[in-house]
Amino acid sequence: MNEELLRVEHISKYFAGVRALDDVSFNINRGEVRGLVGENGSGKSTMIKIIAGVYEPDKGDIYINGNHYKRLTPIISIREGIQVIYQDFSLFPNLTVAENIGINRVISKGGRVVNWKEVYESAKEGLSRVGADIPLDAITGELPTADRQIIAIARALLEDARLIIMDEPTTALTQLEIQHLFKTINDLKKRGISILFVSHKLNEVKEISDSILIFRDGKKVLDQEAEELDIKTMEYYMTGRQIDTSSIAYSEPEEAPPLLKVENLTLRPCFSNVSFELKSREVLGITGLLGSGRTELALSLFGELPAESGEIWLEGKKVFIKRVQDAMEQEIGYVPEDRIKEGLFLEQSISNNLVVTIIDWLASKMGIIRNQTKLKTAEEWVSKLEIKTPSVENPANSLSGGNQQRVVLAKWLAGNPKILILNGPTVGVDVGSKAAIHELIRNLAKQGMGIILISDDIPELMQTCNRILLMRDGRIVKEFRREETNEEELHRHLVAAKN
């Protein structure tokens, strides 16, 4: 069983004189699940790309199946049985499942006419190797994320993968889907296929991996059996500092009439008869699986998907929120789920991103922007949220994930909203930034803001919220007080919410 599949020795890689990887060595055995963790910029992605043959290492040796290489190309890497499943799965959303899985093999055989029978047979074979049953004629883009992931794995297996590298595979998955993925990984493992599981989520890495590699600043700082590690130690090695979760100072909700009162809000088929209250200085968690209506509820409060019936009361006054501008007028902010697509203007400067929601205030009555005020405001937020950038005039895409998320947060904080709705604020964010964002959320609440936090990251909910509402099939089915519950109970209810 302990037969070696891949070994890298003394790998170093420089980009324009900057060290991305520094003398990194490790190996992966057959049938082993290796966890790889590290903050953004730690060298994880560079290592993946070297193994996949995308980058050439500047120094070091690679051994796969006993063959020695100084560098790989994508073709060699695939021939040696290495398959990478990137975060977006690299599927064609407009094609059917069969086409996505089966077409590679048919194309690689050459020939100008597509043999559809063969495409379907290949696809069927691929899916059976994962042990999954997905309709072959379904359009891939219309399937749930978890199914798309299975499709990507099936495609990798058809290429006779011996090592599957999964880059942040659980980012878009719900708890239940993650459990399915782990089951699939364990099946693959039994069949002698190795997995390199790359993720930010330490508890998941610990759960699934046999052994764990931790990178920091391009160096391998830890290589140990998963059983011997605990999350705190992993966090310490990853960030180089201890993150203390035991002495969190939560905000205490104000004993006053609620800031926001929602009554029987309904938008069929997404959610119906949703009622809740939010107090000033309160962090209210809303959790549920994908499709439970949690995102639609948030969008409804923000005016993007106006509810068809029900009432919204703000500080005792009934309000009508029919469009985003209405919500903004009522001082409601929304930090969207997908920061790249919905939150950021990637090619625009950081300063433009920071002032976008308040540009009308920064301008004169005639709509003329005062550039000095704009820059000053942007710089204030950069320093307030410790956004790491040499200049506010750099484009937003020059920032790392955690810093980008801070920009999205700052953009809403700049408007000083009374209510801030955060939808998955730390998805894909490294541990250090995550802790900072949690701290920020608690502090904002302490300053009087009412915060709605939508998340299925249970530790996150436990570390920030005063109350947590559980949604299932568009309804709020249960309410938890943080003091009276724990991670295990929440987890159980969340996963059970599927059926």
Partner 1 sequence: MAEQKRGKFPGGFRFNIEDRVLLLSVVLIILVIFFGAIEDRFLTGSSIRSMAFQCPEIGLMGLGMAIAMMIDGINLSINDTANLSALIAGLSIVKLAPFFAGHEFLSIVIVFLVAIATGAACGALNGLLAGYIGAPPILATLATLTLYRGISVVITGGKTLTGFPKELSIIGHQVVMGIPIPFVIFLIVGILMYFVLEYTTFGFKVRMSGTNPTAAKFSGIDNRSIAMKVYILSGILGAIAGIIVMSRTNSVAYEYGTRTYILLTLLISVLGGTSPGFGNVVGVILATFILQVLSTGFHMLLLGVRGSSFFKDFSWGVLFIAILIIDHFMRREKSI
In this structure, what DSSP letter does residue 482 have?
G
In this chain, which of 367, 372, 484, 488 binds partner 1, going by CB under 8 A? Answer: 367
**Residue 394 contacts partner 1 per CB under 8 A:** yes
Select from 136, 389, 418, 495 the one that contacts partner 1 (CB under 8 A).
389
**Rounded distance, CA 25 to CA 7, Å?**
7
The residues in 338-357 that bind partner 1, with binding defined as CB under 8 A, are 341-348, 352, 356-357
Task: Verify binding: residue 397, partner 1, rule CB under 8 A.
Answer: yes
In angstroms, the CA 411 to CA 344 distance is 9
Number of residues that bind partner 1 (CB under 8 A): 45
Q: Alpha-carbon distance 44 to 287, whole Å?
A: 30
The alpha carbon of residue 184 and the mean position of all alpha carbons in its chain are separated, in whole angstroms, by 20
Minimum separation from the CB atom of position 294 to partner 1 (A): 17
> In the complex, what is the shortest distance from the CB of residue 175 to partner 1, in angstroms, rounded to a whole number?
26
Nearer to partner 1, 292 or 423 (CB): 423
Residues 48-107 touching partner 1, rule: CB under 8 A, are none
- Stretch near partner 1 under the rule CB under 8 A, chosen from 73-81, 195-203, 334-342, 471-479: 334-342
Q: Which range touches partner 1 (CB under 8 A), out of 197-205, 263-271, 388-396, 485-493?
A: 388-396
Nearest Cα residue to 42 out of 239, 274, 260, 288:
239
Which residue, 206, 141, 204, 209, is CA-closest to 175?
204
Beta carbons of 28 and 6 less than 8 angstroms apart? yes
Residue 96 CA, chain-centre distance (Å), reads 26
426 binds partner 1 (CB under 8 A): no
Toward partner 1, which CB reaches closer, 224 or 373?
Answer: 373
SS3 145: helix
Nearest approach in angstroms of CB 298 to partner 1 is: 11
Distance (Å, whole) CA 403 – CA 304: 26
Rounded-to-integer distance, Cα 396 and Cα 389, Å? 9
- Helix (H) / strand (E) element for 350: namely helix 350-355
Write the interaction track for partner 1 spanning residues 264-303; mark x where CB under 8 A is met and - where it is not.
--------------------------------------x-
391 binds partner 1 (CB under 8 A): yes
Binder to partner 1 among 277, 304, 315, 380 (CB under 8 A)? 304
CB of 56 to partner 1, least distance (A): 14
- Residue 265, classed as helix, strand or coil, is strand
Q: How far is CA 488 from CA 44, 138, 167, 427, 495, in A?
A: 31, 36, 27, 21, 11
- Residues 6 or more apart whose CB falls under 8 angstroms from that of 79 comprise none
Interacting residue with partner 1 among 156, 286, 314, 328 (CB under 8 A): 328
Q: Does 369 bind partner 1 (CB under 8 A)?
A: yes
5 three-class SS = strand
Among 334, 410, 454, 474, binds partner 1 (CB under 8 A): 334
Q: Hey, what amino acid is at 25?
A: S
Binding mask 13-32 for partner 1 (x = CB under 8 A): --xx-x-x------------
Give me the residues paired with residue 277 across strands: 261
Q: Which is nearer to partner 1, 102 or 333 (CB)?
A: 333
Nearest approach in angstroms of CB 408 to partner 1 is 9
Rounded least distance, CB 96 to partner 1, Å: 26
The DSSP output letter for 343 is: I
Contact between 372 and partner 1 per CB under 8 A: no
Q: Which CB sits closer to partner 1, 225 or 338?
A: 338
Nearer to partner 1, 192 or 395 (CB): 395
Q: Which of 35, 43, 60, 428: binder of partner 1 (CB under 8 A)?
A: 43
Tokens at residue 160, please? 């006779």
Query: Minimum CB separation from partner 1 for residue 4, in Å?
Result: 27
Whole-Å CA distances, 304 to 96, 141, 342: 31, 23, 12
Identify the H or E element spanning 21.
Answer: strand 18-29
Q: Which DSSP state fits 51?
A: H
Least separation, in Å, of the C-beta of 327 and partner 1? 8
400 contacts partner 1 (rule: CB under 8 A): yes
**DSSP per-residue codes, 373-440:** HHHHHHHHHHHHTT---S-TTSBGGGS-HHHHHHHHHHHHHTT--SEEEEESTTTT--HHHHHHHHHH
Out of 24, 45, 101, 153, the residue judged to bind partner 1 by CB under 8 A: 45
Q: How far is the CB of 335 from partner 1 (least distance, A)?
A: 9
Amino acid (1-letter code) at residue 108: S
Choose which of 398, 439, 478, 495 interacts with partner 1 (CB under 8 A): 398
Footprint of partner 1 (CB under 8 A):
15-16, 18, 20, 40-41, 43, 45-46, 302, 304, 324-325, 328, 334, 336, 341-348, 352, 356-357, 359-360, 363, 366-369, 371, 388-391, 394, 397-400, 411
